[in-house]
Amino acid sequence: MDCRTIMPARKVPHILKLSVKEQKEFFNSFDVVMCDCDGVMWMIASPLPRTGEAVNALKAAGKQVLFVTNNSMRSDDDYVHKFVGIGVKDFQKVSHTLFRLLVCDIVSYYNANFKHVPWVKK
């Protein structure tokens, strides 16, 4: 299929409109949850309600929960503090749970024809 072909949108039902059986089937269909941080776990400095509780419930159900961010202003210690502050259990003890997205930066460098970006070759 040509990547320029526009696929028609498929209407996906809201999870709360599914039966309990369908909700369980959906929940059991994945092992990993990737979650953005800013705007999903918190808004600027304020945590969104029950986000820590939701992460803990996913982990207790055997799901691996990973966090992604494109915010390069916060240090890893800042993220540990934020996640512990919203009640995420054992965040500081788990390695490789926070991923910083560099794809946008790499594409921007590439498109701007930067000559000295070591990880991009034209």
Q: Is 2 a catalytic residue?
A: no
Give yes or no for a contact between 35 and 41, defined as CB atoms under 8 angstroms apart.
yes
For residue 66, the domain's CATH number is 3.40.50.1000
Least confident window among 31-45, 52-66, 106-120: 106-120
Q: What is the pLDDT of residues 6-32, one digit of tens each?
A: 667 778 889 899 999 999 999 999 999
For residue 61, being part of any structural domain is answered with yes
pTM of the model: 0.69
Give 91's DSSP letter: G
The DSSP string of 53-77 is HHHHHHHHTT-EEEEEE---SS-HH
Question: Is pLDDT of 4 > 70?
Answer: no
- Distances from the Cα of 32 to the Cα of 27, 54, 106, 109, 119, angstroms: 10, 14, 26, 31, 28
Structural domain boundaries, residue 104: 15-111
Residue 90 region by backbone torsions, left for phi larger than 0, else alpha for psi between -120 and 50, else beta: left
Q: Of 2, 31, 38, 90, which one is the catalytic site residue?
A: 31
The rounded distance, in Å, linking the Cα atoms of 42 and 48 is 5
Mean pLDDT of 71-81: 83
Instruction: Specify the number of domains making up the chain.
Output: 1
For residue 118, being part of any structural domain is answered with no
Three-state DSSP at 31 gives coil
For residue 121, being part of any structural domain is answered with no
Rg (CA), the chain: 19
